[in-house]
Amino acid sequence: MKIRFFFLLPLLISLVPTAPSLAAGDRFALVIGNAKYPDADAPLKEPINDARAVADELKRDGFSVELGENLTGDAMRRAFDKLYGKIKPGSVALVFFSGFGIQSARQSYLLPVDAQIWTESDVRRDGFSLETVLGELNTRGAGVKIALVDASRRNPFERRFRSFSAGLTPVIAPNGTLVMYSAALASVVSDAGGDRSLFVQELLKEIRVPDLMAEETLNRTKMGVTRASRGEQVPWISSSLAEDFSFIPGAGGSRPATPPPAPPAAPAVVANNPPPPPVKPVDPAPAPSTDGGPSAAALADDPTIKSLTAKIAANPDDVNALYRRGQVYASKGAYSLAIKDFDDTLRINSKDVEALNNRCWTRTVVGDLQAALKDCNEALRLRPNFVDALDSRGLVNLKSGAVKNAIADFDAALKINPRLTSSLYGRGLAKQRNGSAQEGALDIANAKAMDPNIVQEFASYGVR
């Protein structure tokens, strides 16, 4: 249930070095979602949504992003060539691929939708070797190469000339490379058929945790996927980064990340919470400090907030900077400041469903439930079946005592994403309050097994 800081899947990375060695414009990403393979029984349900969520997130983070959907071999070749042409010495280059992948001759290949594969040689003819892609990026001078590959799926191609699907294989990559597969080497996972893959859900959540180095972010993603799948899916990571990089320092996940930087005992709804020591009680802050969180003055020296504030000062209508600063404020428990930034984001673009969802969630935490419900309803009107807004509205209804409506929202969210722990736990609480103690206890137990921190997370929202 963490603030939907992408919104965003799904991916990724506004990688910024801890030392100022890269210019702000030297970050390039190619995001590909391939779903409609004619040789498959049915289109994959996750890659397009995953790719769009990742592309949206990267754009918010200042990446120059190219998004490709259902690319043929010729289209993938042109997309890679375009990426190669942008690279300058020291650039950060990121490739995200969701679709079918296959290993051949100890290399992993990304497959276009028109791949015609009947033999091993067809793989090398029609597929795109991940090692070759990373090598070309390195040759062009990229200082940091990132590959995030959600392609460990059973596919129809391997079965034609093998007795089983073997997943992907290790990458022999140049220095300065970070690679992550959605599942372990030589293993496959089924397409769950949800709104997003489990891999992208966890990745988008973790890259928004403030100030994590990239390797730690991916390790946390790995642990999240492993925990949520109960060990059935364990991502694989390989790193040869020579420097520390962080995924947008200071920017949290789609709701304040777990664990949030703000003290867990400082939920916005507890009126007698003492403010953190740095806060001056007389500090008015840009918005009334009704949440007991830090003031603008107390957070002014935070590097990310300082940078975003400078961008907003230069351009008060910089919607990406306003949205991102709202996320950072929310992740630090400064909810009034976050709401103000989401207000300004929506003033510029009233149809920004991510900002509506974030403001809904933040208003819920501070107890402004009527306004929160209005935000969530509008987000769902603009994007029906938006799982994050369903999850947020479930929390609104739970806190307001409309437990039947809460159960309906959490049911709808879990139908889209059965592993959404926050909806599972919230539904358990709602069922208990609706008189179904045994059913509720089962949901709560399952949610706690998937995420041991879920009880503390809800407590920080003022829900016990």
The pLDDT of residue 274: 37
- Predicted pLDDT of residue 163: 46
pLDDT at 252 over 60: no
For residue 336, list its beta bridge partners: none
Q: What is the pLDDT of residue 253?
A: 36
Structure confidence at residue 16 (pLDDT): 38
ω into 259 cis (within 30 of 0)? yes
Q: Is this structure's pTM higher than 0.75?
A: no
CA atoms within a 13 Å half-sphere pointing along the CA-CB vector of 137: 30
Highest mean pLDDT among 72-76, 153-157, 236-240, 451-455: 72-76
d(CA 321, CA 373): 25
Q: CA 430: distance to chain centroid?
A: 27
- Give the pLDDT score at 285: 36
Instruction: Indicate whether 266 pLDDT > 50.
Output: no
Q: Percent of the chain beyond pLDDT 90?
A: 40
CA dist 350 and 307 (Å) reads: 25
Residue scoring higher pLDDT (190 or 344): 344
Domains and CATH numbers, the chain: 15-247 (3.40.50.1460), 296-460 (1.25.40.10)
The burial of 177, by beta-carbon neighbours within 10 Å (0-12 exposed, 13-18 middle, 19 or more buried), is given as: buried
Decide the pairing of beta strands 92-98 and 144-150: parallel
* pLDDT above 90 for 31: yes
Considering only 98-102, 236-240, 456-460, which range has the smallest mean pLDDT?
456-460
| 49-96 per-position pLDDT tens digit | 999 998 987 787 778 999 999 999 999 999 999 999 999 998 889 999
What is the average per-residue pLDDT within 353-369? 91
Residue pLDDT, tens place only, 367-388: 999 999 999 999 999 988 888 8
Helices (H), 118-267: 120-126, 130-139, 158-161, 198-206, 214-228
What is the per-residue pLDDT across 125-135, written as a single tens digit (0 to 9) for each?
999 999 999 99
Query: pLDDT category, 7, cuts 50, 70, 90?
Result: very low
Question: Average of pLDDT values for 395-412?
Answer: 95
